[in-house]
Amino acid sequence: MGFFPDIGRHEQRVIKLRTVGDFSGPASQDRASRSPHERNCKDPSPRNSVTIDTQRKPSSTPLISRRGSVDSIDLRDSAFILALESAKAHFEPHTMKIEDSTSMSLSDLRQASMPNLNSLPKIRGNVESSRGFLSPVDSSTAPITLGKASSRTSISATYNSSDRALKPSTSTPYAEDNVLRVAASLGVVTKEGLSSPFKMSGDLKTALGSNRGGINSKASTASQQYLSTQGVQLSALIRFADTVSHTYTVSDVINKLIKPQTASSKSRYIDMIQGKKDSPGYYVVYSRSMNFHALVETLRLYLDMNKHLHEEQYVWIDVFCVNQHVAELVPQEIDSVADVIHSTSKVLFVLDEAGEALKRTWVLFELWQAHLSSRKQDKLVVLPAAWSWEGSVHAFVSMDVSSSRAVKALERTVLMDRLQKQVDLPQATEIIKNALVTGAKLEMFRTERLSNLSVHRYIDAATTYAMMLYHQQDYAEAEEVLGAIKTAMEKTRNRELIDQVEPYNLLHLSQIFHEKGQILEEQRVLTQLSAFLFESEKRVFLEGTSKLVTVLLKLKLYTKAELLCRKLQARRIDIYGGKQNVGIVTNMLQLSQISMAQGLYDEAEDCASDALTLSVNIEGVSSLNVASCHHALASCFYARRQPEQAVVHLNKALNIRRLILGDDHPLTLELLAMEATALINEQQLNEAAQKLANIRDLRLATYGREHHETLKTVGALVDLYCQLQRNEEAEEGEALLLETGKLLLRRNRIDKFLSLQFVAMYLAGREDLIEKAAPYLAKAYVTFKEKLGLEADMTVSTKKKLENIVDRERVMAFDLLEEGQLYQRQEALEMAEMMFKQCWSFAKLVHPEADHKDLAQGLSDALFSQGKSQEAMTVLRSAGLAKKGMSENMPASYLRWLNKRVEKYMDKGSAGNKQGA
């Protein structure tokens, strides 16, 4: 198994080796050339030896003598290496013994057999080594088993010389690191491979990779293993991106470019790149489903804003640094990935527009490692690849490590096992979410301190932090951050910067107002944005105008909405030169919705059908826009009472959204809710109840009970249970609504006002819950008035509902009063008293300027009928319906000052009236 040259003399030789600490030079050094420390070291005992049989003809038998068909080597202590052309063998220096051998020193052997080391050829794949070994002569097909025994570690590997493959069974980082160091001392590998302190099995395989088919001019044999610990220059990554189609995803790049170009060498692409490689400063985390150019451009913008030269920055990106030809990943390589993450200064998480990265097991594992590797939590940097926030919200909210996906099942199993050993999976999910938000926050603080050098960098980081707050449903704080961005822009007085940043700031504000339910504020912001529709071709103005059309539709301003939508459609055609564009599909669907809202079902169906045809021509039959077209058509057919055709389109839309978005996505649940409504209309109440219960469970699990869509589903289910007379389940739902409403009132968070409003409106619409609804609605009205103002939409709508409740309670109270007085029913009188008090209180809250004398008179009548004359007179006097006595008109401080004898004579008439009453 020789790495020694063919030797002409026939004799037995035993090579004695030194420990790692004593071994500082090549094996050919004699004792005189060693350092004083090495010269004082004792040679190992004669029993610790390797027997090499050289009594053979050249190219006939391997150098290691054989016992049967298997040669064995006992290995202990620090790891050393024997190298063949295509095999790696781990062993330890103190014991390597093969029977029937004689001994001679290593230096004598090297001097006798290889007097001129520099003239020897280098080992394949190690062209930079100054001390190489001759290629072996392989005449054996017998397997060689290499075993290692140690008190700390256990390593074994099997090398079969027939197929030139070495298969290690287990490994440890400590032993392999020693192997690398010894291999460098022997000249088998270069010392550059020891630059990083984190050397695991991936490094060993990289340094000692097998060579099949000779030397590749661009890639060494070492690169055939899985992982490289070196990074690629950003400039090289950008140059590569220039050769890639703009429609390619990262997966397309791997399958269509990387794999074909590395097919012959089975290597990593980084080894094919000409130029310098170095330890990476940045580790890139992303989803392979995202656009490759978007990924590279996001990285470039971030590093440019941080004033970094492309040639000086090295990034670790798995497209280049991972061998794409490796079928299965061994567990040790996962440790190597973690070590690379820990060794970098920053982890750049590129978040794609749809948030697909947050569903991948590999991505979540990398984010978890980034969280572990930084005590200050400032290592993780979030880089959004798109300016729109809405697409990735659901992915963030529904993030769950336990349900994440991976391409290779074995890798997912190993990754999940590693995570479970460190933390509970539900806890890991929350930690990763908090790490993303915290990382964005700390990056904003860092750039804020340097904002005098680069305001644009601060604005970008602050926008990212606002986005993460938006994902976390902290809308009020996100609004504050966007306000700070606006202030920073105005301070610069840079018109170019303001024109560049302000449109996106307005769009993000509109998204926040939408989630908070502040529709008038949303309209105001979007109106400012749409004013520039015909002055710029930027997509942000088109999207903002499209959102304004939706807002006008909600406000039932149908004419304005239709006119604006048609202008937007014409503008898109002008910009894209008549080319087919998915934005036109959106506008056609909006026209269909406007017609539907006005009862023009035929016109709505025509618009939706045209949109469907255009969308299929552009994107095919299975896109989300196609699903939206089927959704619109289903709504039209349901409205026209054609359920058979509606069900066909509904099922098509449902299948597409389930396939692309999943079962728990809001758009998918919207279709399921439509299906349940159709079943209710067809009086299939039990089936509808089951579907609504499923929707409720999905929304509770994903968004929680405080989300307004969850509460809407609960309310619809309660109404259905009442129809089915399933009273216990209906009461459970009502209790959930009431408890959630009280919780929302106590917290008084503006982020949850939309949920608070729904609970108030729902209770106000239930006759059997009117007693509970009135106090709740009054508190909600006070909250909205204080936080949002009197002109806010929520305040106005809640005020109207409260006025309606006051009118209903007034009628009920007078009916009860009449019943009690006619039939002498005490219970009716007590109920009338309670309702008059509540009604009078709420009426004064809604209209404090009015006198409400009818309510005061009714309350006093109810009190007189029960014999409560004193309370009745108090009510009448407070309403101005009874004349007050002199003492009652005097200030209390003056009455206390008066002499007691004088005071008691001042209102004799009034006192006499009281006694008579």
Q: Give DSSP secondary structure letters for 535-586.
A: T---HHHHHHHHHHHHHHHHTT-HHHHHHHHHHHHHHHHHHTTT---HHHHH
- How far apart are alpha carbons 294 and 246 in whole angstroms? 9
- Equal fold, 556-653 vs 662-728: yes
Per the CB < 8 A criterion, the answer to whether 266 and 213 are in contact is no
Mark 194-206 as b/e (b = at least 16 C-beta within 10 Å): beeebbbbbbbbb
SS3 698: helix
Mean pLDDT by 10 residues, the chain (917 residues): 37 34 38 42 40 38 35 33 35 36 44 42 34 33 34 37 39 44 47 39 37 36 68 91 93 93 89 81 94 94 86 91 80 84 93 93 93 83 91 93 88 89 91 94 90 84 95 93 92 87 93 91 93 84 94 94 93 80 91 94 94 92 94 94 93 94 93 93 92 94 91 93 92 91 87 89 82 84 88 87 87 90 88 90 88 87 88 83 57 54 50 45
User: Closest Cα to residue 886, out of 906, 914, 902, 912?
Assistant: 906
pLDDT at 366: 94
Rg (CA), the chain: 40
The DSSP letter of residue 883 is P
Q: Which CATH architecture is the domain 556-653 placed in? A: Alpha Horseshoe (1.25)
pLDDT at 249: 94
Per the CB < 8 A criterion, the answer to whether 218 and 271 are in contact is yes
pLDDT at 364: 94
- How far apart are alpha carbons 330 and 336 in whole angstroms? 10
- How far apart are alpha carbons 519 and 513 in whole angstroms? 7
Q: What is the side-by-side order of every strand in the sheet holding 282-285?
A: 232-233, 314-316, 282-285, 346-351, 380-384
- How far apart are alpha carbons 211 and 434 in whole angstroms? 46
User: Closest Cα to residue 79, out of 206, 180, 189, 212?
Assistant: 180
- How far apart are alpha carbons 744 and 705 in whole angstroms? 11
- How far apart are alpha carbons 297 and 363 in whole angstroms? 20
SS3 463: helix
Unique residue bearing structure tokens 């040669």: 71
**C-alpha distances in Å from residue 552, one per residue of 527, 591, 667:** 10, 12, 21
Q: How far apart are the first and last CA of the chain?
A: 123
- E strand intervals along 296-351: 314-316, 346-351
- How far apart are alpha carbons 760 and 780 in whole angstroms? 7
pLDDT at 773: 81
- How far apart are alpha carbons 774 and 841 in whole angstroms? 10
- How far apart are alpha carbons 790 and 783 in whole angstroms? 11
Cβ-Cβ contacts under 8 Å for 659 (sequence gap 6 or more): 622
The DSSP letter of residue 588 is H
DSSP string, 65-81: --BTTB------SS-EE
Extents of the domains making up the chain = 226-451, 556-653, 662-728, 803-903
* Residues listed for the chain: 917
Q: Regarding beta strands 12-15 and 50-53, do their DSSP bridges make them parallel or antiparallel, or are they unpaired?
A: antiparallel
- How far apart are alpha carbons 677 and 674 in whole angstroms? 5
- How far apart are alpha carbons 582 and 496 in whole angstroms? 30
User: Closest Cα to residue 221, out of 210, 230, 229?
Assistant: 210
Cβ-Cβ contacts under 8 Å for 584 (sequence gap 6 or more): 569, 572, 573, 614
User: Closest Cα to residue 859, out of 881, 884, 834, 827?
Assistant: 834
SS3 160: strand
Per the CB < 8 A criterion, the answer to whether 235 and 241 are in contact is no
Cβ-Cβ contacts under 8 Å for 630 (sequence gap 6 or more): 612, 649, 650, 652, 653, 656
- How far apart are alpha carbons 537 and 879 in whole angstroms? 64
- How far apart are alpha carbons 22 and 19 in whole angstroms? 5
Q: Regarding beta strands 232-233 and 314-316, do their DSSP bridges make them parallel or antiparallel, or are they unpaired?
A: antiparallel
Q: Which residues pair with 405 in a beta bridge?
A: 360
Q: Which residues pair with 269 in a beta bridge?
A: none
Answer yes or no: CATH 3.30.1370 is held by domain 662-728. no
User: Closest Cα to residue 186, out of 293, 26, 51?
Assistant: 26
Please write down the HEC assignment for all residues of 168-232: EEECCHHHHHHHHHHHHHHCCCCHHHHCCCCCCHHHHHHHCCCCCCCCCCCCCHHHHCCECCCEE
pLDDT at 789: 86
Per the CB < 8 A criterion, the answer to whether 707 and 753 are in contact is no
pLDDT at 900: 54
The total of other beta-carbon atoms located within 10 Å of residue 58's CB is 10
Q: How far is CA 121 from the centre of its chain?
A: 53
User: Closest Cα to residue 238, out of 287, 304, 290?
Assistant: 304
- How far apart are alpha carbons 616 and 627 in whole angstroms? 10
pLDDT at 251: 94
Q: Which helix (H) or strand (E) holds 678?
A: helix 666-681
Determine the Cα angle at 673 with ends 671 and 678, to 5°: 95
Confirm whether pTM is higher than 0.75.
no
User: Closest Cα to residue 122, out of 31, 211, 17, 204?
Assistant: 211
DSSP string, 840-858: HHHHHHH-TTS--HHHHHH
Cβ-Cβ contacts under 8 Å for 413 (sequence gap 6 or more): none
Encoded tokens for 761? 């409106």
Q: Regarding beta strands 156-160 and 165-170, do their DSSP bridges make them parallel or antiparallel, or are they unpaired?
A: antiparallel
Unique residue bearing structure tokens 């009860």: 816
**C-alpha distances in Å from residue 8, one per residue of 59, 66, 114:** 12, 20, 12
User: Closest Cα to residue 518, out of 329, 714, 258, 794?
Assistant: 794
SS3 903: helix
